[in-house]
Structure formats: structure tokens, C-alpha cells
Amino acid sequence: MWLGYLEEFPDYMTQGESVAELEENLRDLYRDLTSGEIPGIRKIAELSVR
């Protein structure tokens, strides 16, 4: 089994039985997280202080 997450969304993990399946699941996860249909998604962002 392979586990993975997106750096931009480290709270959300997925898995696959192969690297190819993991990559497919990561693409699906990214699509779900960026669709706007799921409220309250926590995302890492850069802080700019002036």
C-alpha cells in the first residue's frame, strides 16, 4: 500500500495499492478539495507581512 497527501492540503490523505493508483486517487482528492463543494477545507498558505 502507498499513502500520500497533497502539500497544499496536508490534513487529507489517500492511499493506493500501486503508485499509479495513488496518483489517480491524489488527482481525485485534489479535484474534490478544490471544487468548492466541500465547506471548511483547510489549506496551507503563505503569510506575507509588511
Taking the domains of the chain in order of start, what are their residue ranges?
A: 1-50
Residue 41 and residue 5 in contact, taking contact as beta carbons nearer than 8 Å:
no
More confident residue, 47 or 9: 9
Evaluate whether 5 touches 33 at the Cβ level (below 8 Å): no
Contacts of 48 (CB under 8 A, 6+ apart): none
pTM: 0.81
Cell digits of residue 15? 492511499
- 19-47 per-position pLDDT tens digit: 999 999 999 999 999 999 989 998 887 77
